Amino acid sequence: MTAPRITRDSTALLVVDIQERFIPVIDNADGVVENSVVAIRAARELGLPVLLTEQYPKGLGSTVPDIVDALGDAYEPLEKTTFSACGVEDVGARLRHGDIGSVVVVGIEAHVCVLQTALDLLGQGYDVFPVANAISSRSGENRTLGLERMRQSGAVLISTEMLIFELLSDARDPNFKTLQSLIK
């Protein structure tokens, strides 16, 4: 069995529900936002598709400003009420249209929306890479359980540094210095 790899030509980043009214109650919220911003900037620098969902924005507010800033003109929230981002027709359509085989996932909550999204993506045949330091829940216990269930189901847990260096794959890559600066 070949281990799944993250490659530029077949990977998308999915940002799940990092919203204003929800983030204050999330364990390690600052770390989640900071590491999600790093993942978004790396993806944008390398031209990867970036999709973003918002869970019931009328109740939970919009995406936090740091994420919106990192996305720039690519900020196009996909509104949802289903816990899984795969319940949004546009998510599946955009992944299929882009010939995507791997999905890197950041967001909240690990044991609900991120988990159900990861399970659905795995069920659809995608390689799924949850960025563990850019995912959390209201409690550390639920974060741990959500990440463990994703791992047990076939997702490959990574960190933002793992993401960056796997996307680069060579220190001679012209983007090396720019992306390395994101994690210093």
Structural domain includes residue 174: no
Which residues are bridge partners to 127 per DSSP?
102
Whether 27 is in a domain gets the answer yes
Tell whether 145 is covered by a domain.
yes
Residue 46 in any domain: the answer is yes
What is d(CA 34, CA 137) in angstroms, rounded to the nearest whole number? 15
Q: How far is CA 98 from CA 27, 75, 101, in A?
A: 33, 18, 9
**Tokens 């999600």 — which residue?**
36
Kindly report, residue by residue over 24-56, the tens digit of the pLDDT: 999 999 999 999 999 999 999 999 999 999 999
- Model confidence at 2, pLDDT cuts 50, 70, 90, reads confident
Count of domains forming the chain: 1
What is the pairing mode between strands 50-55 and 78-80?
parallel
180 belongs to a structural domain:
no
Answer whether residue 75 is part of any domain. yes
Nearest Cα neighbor of 38 from 66, 10, 17, 75 is: 66
Catalytic residue among 9, 30, 66, 80: 80
User: What is the strand order of the sheet 78-80 is part of?
Assistant: 78-80, 50-55, 11-16, 102-108, 127-136
Annotation says 113 is catalytic: yes
Distance CA 51, CA 71 (A): 10
- Cα separation, 88 vs 78, whole angstroms: 7
- Examine residue 184 and state whether it is found in any structural domain, yes or no: no
Asked whether residue 13 is assigned to any structural domain, the reply reads yes
Catalytic residue among 17, 86, 120, 127: 17
pLDDT for 1: 63
Which CATH number characterizes residue 161's domain?
A: 3.40.50.850
Catalytic entry in 66, 86, 90, 113: 113
Which pTM was predicted? Answer: 0.97
Specify the pLDDT at position 40.
98
pLDDT, position 3 = 82
Q: Tell me whether residue 105 is exposed, middle or buried, using C-beta atoms within 10 angstroms of its C-beta: 0 to 12, 13 to 18, 19 or more.
A: buried
Q: Which residue segment(s) compose the domain that 17 sits in? A: 8-169
- Residue 106 tokens read as 């950041």
